[in-house]
Structure 1
């Protein structure tokens, strides 16, 4: 049997998406690259642990889980998470941003200044603008101000982001319009924390970075990985944790790389199973028509 590798997630570098593997190995993902792997028969998905520590019981986790953690490790990971609002004394400066994922989908969020644009690439933000910079709690208060006063969410499900990718405006000006409009409303609000330094509206567009310009629309998404299943396809685009793979005889299918974590994976050629044999949920015309 071929040696299995464990995926530790998708990262975004200056050159594009990169698959990370346990042990520090990296697989660059240029457009057109053939992506192929399989789960061996008898394979079990195990918890990835938390905060750099292995799961003490190597607990089994469900195939549909995007976190790939057991309840105890998920609790530990969230207990030290800025996103979960459990850290109040982080001394690093933070940025408040507005991110746009498609028509009607804009969110507010915060990210550490030292992370640059990485957080926006990881979320699959098609375009974004910074709002202001300051201490963590000032950024948190600003985020809450926009949520309460303008009804702007701080989270958007990935299913909704995927559903609108086939309907993105061709013009960068059109893609930026909702961010600019919301920015103007946000800076006009009273009650901004004095310690938050406002930043000008400068919209960054990731359509090119994601390879979505002129890319064929996805027809479905992988629901979960299973024993004995595999996938092989050509990478046509990517956004956030999602790889858009052109699979022979199937068209373009979205693979959420978070579903890969916790599995021992082998090259697909070693499995003897071509194409795509993981369960797939087809996108419907009704879904596409909602937007």
Structure 2
């Protein structure tokens, strides 16, 4: 029987996604590479724990959840995150950013300055610009200012991000146009924290890094992995946690967060055999910006 591996997540290097496995193994994913694995027969998806600690209950978790944590571990993980505002004394500088995922879809967020653009790659931001740098709470207040004054969200569902990837403008200039307009409106607001140092508009573009230009539109997305199932396809693009795989049925998107908590084994040559639903191509309207 093949040894099962446990995926601990997908991270981005400067130019490619990397799958991380328990025990320190790493799988660098390059376009054109075959992504193929099976899910253990009779296996159960179990909680991945929180903050580096195993789940004390070894609790089973639903196959469709992207968090792969039971309620208690999810609560503990959230309680120690920047998003929970529980790290007010964090001395590190933070950056506020504006991110663009497709036509009409923008958000504001913050990330530790030392992480560079890693957070934007992990979220699947097609284009972005920095808005300013300062202490954590100043960055938080700036984020809240934009949410209140301009109606800019700080979260966008991944299903919405996938829905607009097939309709991206062709040029970097077109992809940067909406964040340019939002940046101008943001810096014109009064009430910025004095300790936040504003940043000029300097757009960065990830479309080529993700491999999105010239890639066929995805026809479906994996809804969950199942015991005894299999995934097999050629990697043609990747954005955030999503792998776009060319399969016999067309391009299918796999959210790698669905892999966590399962015991994964070699595919053994099996074809793509996990639940897939049609991918929405609807235009996603975002209220309150323009």
Q: Answer whether TM exceeds 0.5 for this pair.
A: yes
Deviation at residue 171 of structure 1 after TM alignment: 1.1
Deviation at residue 75 of structure 1 after TM alignment: 0.6
Q: TM-score, structure 1 length as denominator?
A: 0.96
Q: Distance in 2 between matches of 1:152 and 1:186?
A: 10
Deviation at residue 86 of structure 1 after TM alignment: 2.4
Spell out, residue by residue over 1:79-100, the C-alpha distance to the aligned partner (whole angstroms, 9 max, x if none). Answer: 1000222221111100000000
In the other structure, the counterpart of 2:288 is none
Deviation at residue 111 of structure 1 after TM alignment: 0.2
In the other structure, the counterpart of 1:196 is 196
- Kindly indicate whether residue 221 of structure 2 is the aligned counterpart of residue 221 of structure 1: yes
In the other structure, the counterpart of 2:254 is 255
Deviation at residue 216 of structure 1 after TM alignment: 1.0
- Kindly indicate whether residue 86 of structure 2 is the aligned counterpart of residue 90 of structure 1: no
Q: Distance in 2 between matches of 1:129 and 1:290?
A: 22
Aligned pairs for 1:161-240 within 5 A: 161-240=161-240
Deviation at residue 14 of structure 1 after TM alignment: 2.1
* Counterpart selection for 2:275 from 265, 269, 279: 279
Deviation at residue 11 of structure 1 after TM alignment: 0.6
CA RMSD of aligned residues (A): 1.0
Q: Secondary structure at the match of 2:282?
A: helix
In the other structure, the counterpart of 2:4 is 4
Spell out, residue by residue over 1:36-85, the C-alpha distance to the aligned partner (whole angstroms, 9 max, x if none). Answer: 01112111111101001111111100001100001110011011000222
Tell me if the contact between 2:17 and 2:30 (Cα under 8 Å) persists in the aligned partners.
yes
Q: TM-score, structure 2 length as denominator?
A: 0.96
In the other structure, the counterpart of 1:25 is 25
Q: Distance in 2 between matches of 1:10 and 1:192?
A: 35
**Where in structure 1 are there 5+ consecutive unaligned residues?**
none
- Kindly indicate whether residue 282 of structure 2 is the aligned counterpart of residue 288 of structure 1: yes
Spell out, residue by residue over 1:84-140, the C-alpha distance to the aligned partner (whole angstroms, 9 max, x if none). Answer: 222211111000000000000000000000101000000000000000000000000
Deviation at residue 288 of structure 1 after TM alignment: 3.3
- Kindly indicate whether residue 144 of structure 2 is the aligned counterpart of residue 148 of structure 1: no
Q: Distance in 2 between matches of 1:61 and 1:146?
A: 36
Spell out, residue by residue over 1:151-189, the C-alpha distance to the aligned partner (whole angstroms, 9 max, x if none). Answer: 000000000000000000001111000000000000000
Q: Secondary structure at the match of 1:258?
A: helix
Q: Distance in 2 between matches of 1:290 and 1:80?
A: 32
Q: Distance in 2 between matches of 1:137 and 1:76?
A: 22
Deviation at residue 290 of structure 1 after TM alignment: 5.5
Q: Secondary structure at the match of 2:83?
A: coil
Q: Distance in 1 between matches of 2:217 and 2:209?
A: 17
Deviation at residue 289 of structure 1 after TM alignment: 5.2
The answer to which of 78-87 and 51-60 deviates more is 78-87
Q: Distance in 2 between matches of 1:208 and 1:173?
A: 14
Q: Distance in 2 between matches of 1:234 and 1:226?
A: 20
The answer to which of 80-89 and 215-224 deviates more is 80-89
The answer to which of 15-24 and 126-135 deviates more is 15-24
In the other structure, the counterpart of 2:132 is 132
Q: Secondary structure at the match of 1:208?
A: helix
The answer to which of 207-216 and 187-196 deviates more is 207-216
In the other structure, the counterpart of 1:117 is 117
Spell out, residue by residue over 1:225-267, the C-alpha distance to the aligned partner (whole angstroms, 9 max, x if none). Answer: 001111100000000000000012x100000000000100001
